[in-house]
Amino acid sequence: MAVDITALTPGTQLTRNEFSIDDEYARRYLAVVNPHYSAVRDWVPPHGIATRAVLSLLDSLSLPAGTVHVSQSVTSHAQANLGSIFSMLTTVTQTRVVRGYLHIGLSFNVYDNKCDAETLILQGDTVVMVPLETDQEL
């Protein structure tokens, strides 16, 4: 079900969503972010996980085209396993309108579900600004 982003308020918890990271994603991501680095890595850096997490989050909100990133923070807590299914819990931290853009702050925790118990992998905070007058979806 589509989320009405204009109705979001601080404290709102979004529906838990999931994503995975496999070898192919890691290879493509690292090749474009750091083309200078040629060694093969068997680990995904926290910014690679955060990128996937933020996209999963923004997809779940069906944000319109023209949405722009304002700020980002990422704290890594544990090593992530390639091939894991990650789940995210997200809370809205702020909403305000500035010059025709809705600024939405989102705080999220990413867990690795590969083991029996969930392991907190990463915490992040994202602020995006969303154009209020658009009819094109991402």
Partner 1 sequence: MIDIPEEIIGHTEEFTQERVNQYAVASGDHNPIHIDPEYALTTPFKATIVHGMLVFGVLAEMLVGQFGESMMRGVSLKVRFRAPVYVGTIVFPRAKFRSDSTESGLRIVEYRISCADQQGTIFVDGTARFEWV
Binding site for partner 1 (CB under 8 A): 25, 28-29, 31-34, 36-37, 43, 45-48, 50-52, 54-55, 58, 65-80, 131, 136, 138
Q: Rank residues 2 and 9 by Cβ distance to partner 1 and give the closer one.
A: 2
What's the CA gap between 64 and 128, in Å, rounded?
11
Residue ranges of alpha helices (H) inside the chain are 23-33, 46-60
Q: How far is the CB of 35 from partner 1 (least distance, A)?
A: 8
Q: How far is the CB of 76 from partner 1 (least distance, A)?
A: 5
Q: Rank residues 12 and 125 by Cβ distance to partner 1 and give the closer one.
A: 125
Establish how many alpha carbons lie within 13 A of residue 35's alpha carbon, considering only the half-sphere containing its beta carbon: 1
Q: What is the CA angle 81-82-84, rounded to 5?
A: 70
Q: Do the strands 68-76 and 17-20 form a parallel or antiparallel pair, or are they unpaired?
A: unpaired
What's the CA gap between 96 and 75, in Å, rounded?
25
Q: How far is the CB of 92 from partner 1 (least distance, A)?
A: 19
Q: Rank residues 12 and 55 by Cβ distance to partner 1 and give the closer one.
A: 55
Q: How far is the CB of 28 from partner 1 (least distance, A)?
A: 4
Q: Are 86 and 49 in contact (CB under 8 A)?
A: yes
Q: Rank residues 9 and 42 by Cβ distance to partner 1 and give the closer one.
A: 42
